[in-house]
Amino acid sequence: MNQWNYPTAMTIGDGSLCSLPSACATHNIRHPLLVTDPGILALPMCEQVIALCQEAGLALGVFSHVKSNPTGENVEQGVKAYQSGGHDGIIVLGGGSAL
């Protein structure tokens, strides 16, 4: 497992999903928004993230409308989802588009 800090901490590598609940607790995140794209949403790792969050008592929301090469409008949709859902943190699965 590795961490990359630019400009915020990112945890990557084998076993990193299991550290998600403790990372949320460390940052006092109780209502995160999962940001990803439709393809990744369909993968088992998304099911694992959702299950881990539910088991930890986190009220997880999902924004999966990220497009390849997102437009300004797509970014605004994500911001709106974050604000309207009352989220207090973001979990990202995917590559540069979701980030």
18 Cβ partners below 8 Å, 6+ apart? 52
d(CA 50, CA 28): 18
pLDDT in tens, the chain (99 residues): 666 666 666 777 888 889 999 999 999 999 999 999 999 999 999 999 999 999 999 999 999 999 988 889 999 999 999 999 999 999 999 878 887
Q: What pLDDT does 99 receive?
A: 79
Q: What pLDDT does 80 receive?
A: 96
Residue ranges covered by each domain of the chain: 36-99
